[in-house]
Amino acid sequence: MAGKTISRLVRLRQTAGYTQESFVAAFAQEAERLGLDASVSVRQLRRWEREKPPPLPHPSQQIVLEAMFGVPLAEMEFNVPHHRVTVAAPMSDAGDVKRRTFVADTGALTAAALVPSRPGPRLGTADLGRLRARLDGLYQTDHTTGSVPAMTQARCIEDEITHALGTAAYTSRVGRELQTMLAELHGHRAWYGYDGGRVDEGRASCMEALAAAQLVDNPLLQISVLETLVLLAVKADRAWEAASAVENAYRLATRAGAGPTVHLVIALRDANVATHTGDLSGARRALSRAVSHQGRIHADAEVPRWAQFVGPFEVDYATADMYVRAEQPKRAVPFLRAAVRDIDGDLARNSASYRVKLASVLLAAGEVDEACAEMSAVLDVYSGISSPRLAGKVRDFRHAVARIDSGTARDCAARIRETVRGTAV
């Protein structure tokens, strides 16, 4: 309506991208995440937005509103009693506030969290949702087109988060979520270091990610970093570091009450370490644990995003790795075939990497024609993937197949050269 003043609450809601109906649903979700018995109806929201002054929300509703928008209730044009005002002043500025009043304020602050007194933009849960969607999208980018484009996206997200942490105003809960996302980003960068062959950079990112995950006291996030550290430590031939990472991951999983899927990932990394060191008995034990956990993942109520990639194909791949280490490539072949067959078709980079491994093992087993057929399937999708680790595997296969004197081998080597011309391979 022309000339009608839009209330502060309406502006906050619209800026966050909510309709009245979607706000009510988001409010309920946020209350659940905060562990509060709080809700709001569309009718009540309309009263808050229309009446001047609007009726005061209940204390639990106040906590949810402040968490969602990242501003104190008083800045939403509510008349807030003194004992419920959320402030962000140093304790030395409290003046001669009576102790009883101070204790009441402290209770409110503990529940609602502090809002830093900064001039920058306010961040609420809607902003977190947008950042979370972009962060989760890194998995899809990496699994489909490779770590190089994923790294570019990760740098942009990291810049945005660090800028927000340094300049924006937000509740402590929002700040904690931002720090958690930053820890996840360091974990992503650790993986990109592994995939890119930059082991020292990857290990440095692991250390940053571990420190950040410890600061927000997130054991599952620490486990996700440790499982990447295992791969980097194995690559750097630091078996003691890899074994220590596995041991700590087991300890954290017990502390967090982690489900079978997380334990499956740890068991697979345990098998990686044992295989690398030639402890084949230890590798078999770890793989037996992995199979046991795999059989129970249906009981997981919730699986962390970083662990959702794991499945039977990972167990098959690790089993094949053990046989390759034992110099029994023929026994490794059926497990690699199963891994290639069962891996999710959306995981293009992973699938290509598995097929190159199968091609290499087939070559070692003397199955040249089959090996070249598998490599041909990789080359069909190779141009759409930017992964230094995959490129290295293709390069190694080209060198191996070039030593074989057969028409099929020569044709395969020629196609590899033609496909990857102009790249580092």
Q: Which residues share a beta bridge with 169?
A: 122
Percent of the chain with pLDDT over 90: 44
> Closest Cα partner for 350 from 381, 376, 304, 372?
381
Residue 26 CB neighbours (<10 A): 19
CA angle 286/289/294 to nearest 5° reads: 125
- Residue-wise pLDDT for 60-92, tens only, equals 898 888 878 777 888 888 888 887 887 543 333
DSSP 3-33: TPPPPHHHHHHHHTT--HHHHHHHHHHHHHH
d(CA 133, CA 129): 6
d(CA 196, CA 389): 6
> The whole model's pTM is what?
0.71
| Confidence bin at 93 (pLDDT 50/70/90) | very low
| Confidence bin at 346 (pLDDT 50/70/90) | low
Q: Which residues share a beta bridge with 170?
A: 123
Which residue's entry shows tokens 């571990």? 210
Q: Of 151-160, 165-174, 232-241, 247-256, where does mean pLDDT reach its minimum?
A: 165-174
Residue 215 has phi, psi (to 5 degrees) of -65, -35
d(CA 29, CA 33): 6
- Mean pLDDT of the chain, nearest integer: 84
Q: Of 102-116, 212-226, 326-340, where does mean pLDDT reach its minimum?
A: 102-116
Quick check: 42 and 24 in contact, CB under 8 A? yes
What pLDDT shows up at residue 92? 38
CA-CA distances (angstroms) from residue 289 to 26, 42, 233, 255?
Answer: 40, 51, 22, 19
What pLDDT shows up at residue 213? 94
- Residue-wise pLDDT for 109-128, tens only, equals 333 333 344 455 778 888 88
